[in-house]
Structure 1
Amino acid sequence: MQSVLTIIAAAPGALRDDAVAAARDGLLGIGAAVGAADWLAPGQAFDLPFETVEPASVERALRERFKGAPLDLAAQPAQNRRKTLLVADMESTIITRELLNELAAIAGLGPKIIPITERSMRGEIDFSQSLRERVALLRGLPISLLDQVATLIELTPGARALVQTMRAHGAYTALVSGGFDCFTGLARKLVGMDEDRANHLAIEGSVLAGRVSEPILDPAAKKSSLLEMAALRGITAADAAAIGDGANDIPMLQTAGLGVAFRGKPATAAAARFRLDHADLTGLLYLQGYHANGFRE
């Protein structure tokens, strides 16, 4: 079969054989030839191979059929499905929090900084300018606050399985963040990635200077990082998976062969070819055809 439909539930046991039957009926209803289902995780995720219709047509039909159900689905070509490069956003993707917001909250600056962050992530204001404005408000804060924020770093469910499973199959994995390198290095080690890239907070003595080192790692830099990493490995962007939640991730997601909006902001979910609204980060493994019994931690 030339293409594959993947359906993923948020929790084990949420899918039954009737979901497979409904998906099969939906495919047959638009003229697809359908193969046998393959359960990637019993009761949680399955593949359904098909041909003779385009994946985009399948997604439209199946989204309508399963409208309102708490599950994710994607249709894609079966060839080159497993990727050999993973580029991931950090905050609200690989980790659960937005750390600049956490720093602002600790410093009593939440009401000033958090709304700017939210507008930036929705794509309503320029990312680089908004970052400069937010960091300027931090001027004079003791750098000891960074250590307090670091204790709040928590991996998103499925993050280690995603990274370690792809690495076990030869993929290179990188954290590329519009956040700060004082945090990405910690998150990279926690999740076990190969590399991290991020912005750098300027420090003067024992306090924050209120500046970010230039050039800022912005949406264009996220995309160029993916392309650079692919070129260094002799592969193309089609061989890469990328995942993120904010508007600053859109160029990266649209460049990767498998670009996924993870519980994305509306603009991100609308712009990305693929999205995971319900599953945890292991959903990106299911989209590549991995079986749960082969996940690594």
Structure 2
Amino acid sequence: MPQEFASGLVIQGFTPPLALANFRLIAFDMDSTLINIECVDEIADAAGRKAEVSAITEAAMRGEIADYKESLRQRVALLAGVPVAALEQVFSQRLQLNPGAEALVRACQAAGLKTLLVSGGFTFFTDRVRDRLGLDFTRSNVLEVADGQLTGRMVDQPWGDICDGDEKRRMLLATCADLGIEPSRAIAMGDGANDLPMMAVAGLSVAYHAKPRVREQAMVAINEGGLDRLLELLA
């Protein structure tokens, strides 16, 4: 049964502390986990369609939409005609790292962990977050652009079409294989239903201010405070 380790910090299935140095990889979701916004919703605001897109995002994150890929295609289609300059504004004016993000990343890096950002969002943002935090690996989706505007479509990549929950899981496992480690030595952090597949194969799964279904299945649920509260459980 889950138990509250400290205020707003719930654990199940293990007894803390764990040794951070026993892990070799930490994988993060981006939107509403490492950062404070859902980027697709904020881009939609520029098209006057934030409410419509946000409703789909919320349903997808709660796990109420079985086909995540189709839900993302629907949302991206509503972005057709948005200028790339609007993405720049979202990044510079609305996107912030969530509290404790940098402290947790730095602690993990200092302990020798590699860092992976896996997102159902877009490379426009993940590449910038990667560079800001010095992350090692990323996987996310590419928005198609023509004449300085979004077309409402995404671009297929060598690994596939859309980074959904299954792709997050595959990327975590592939990164573990490349590093020569077992998935049990990986930490996975997320907030939405599409994070559950990668959380299920990691040695430590962490829900951050997450949807109920994710909180219920994670080994750690951070319900109050910043991402760095994970360090309270890791010696």
- For normalisation by structure 1, the TM-score amounts to 0.72
Match of 1:237 in 2: 183
Q: Which runs of 5+ in 1 are unaligned?
A: 1-58, 290-297
Tell me which stretches of 4 or more aligned residues in structure 1 moved more than 6 Å. Answer: none
Match of 1:175 in 2: 117
Residue 131 in structure 1 maps to residue 68 in structure 2: no
Residue 110 in structure 1 maps to residue 50 in structure 2: yes
Q: Which amino acid aligns with 1:72?
A: L
Q: Which amino acid aligns with 1:147?
A: E
> Which of the numbers 68, 88, 112 marks the counterpart of 1:147?
88
Q: How does 1:117-266 map to 2 (within 5 A)?
A: 117-125=57-65, 126-151=67-92, 152-214=94-156, 215-266=161-212
Q: Which runs of 5+ in 2 are unaligned?
A: none
Count residues in correspondence: 226
Confirm or deny: 8 A CA contact 1:85 1:171 kept in the other structure: yes
- For normalisation by structure 2, the TM-score amounts to 0.90
Confirm or deny: 8 A CA contact 2:9 2:220 kept in the other structure: no
Offset from partner CA, 1:112-162 (integer Å, 9 cap, x none): 211111111111112111100011111122221111111122011110111
Q: How does 1:42-81 map to 2 (within 5 A)?
A: 59-60=1-2, 62-63=3-4, 70-74=7-11, 76=14, 81=19
User: For the structure 1 residues 79 and 270, does the alpha-carbon distance in structure 2 shift closer, same or farther, using more than 3 Å as the test?
Assistant: closer
Q: Shift of residue 231 of structure 1?
A: 0.8
Q: Shift of residue 106 of structure 1?
A: 2.4
CA–CA distance in structure 2, aligned partners of residues 154 and 258 of structure 1: 25
Residue 99 in structure 1 maps to residue 74 in structure 2: no
Identical counterparts, % of pairs = 41
Higher relative contact order by CA 8 Å / sep ≥ 6: 1 or 2?
2
Which of the pair has more CA radius of gyration? Answer: 1
Q: Shift of residue 272 of structure 1?
A: 1.9
Q: Shift of residue 193 of structure 1?
A: 1.5
CA–CA distance in structure 2, aligned partners of residues 124 and 200 of structure 1: 24
Q: Shift of residue 207 of structure 1?
A: 1.2
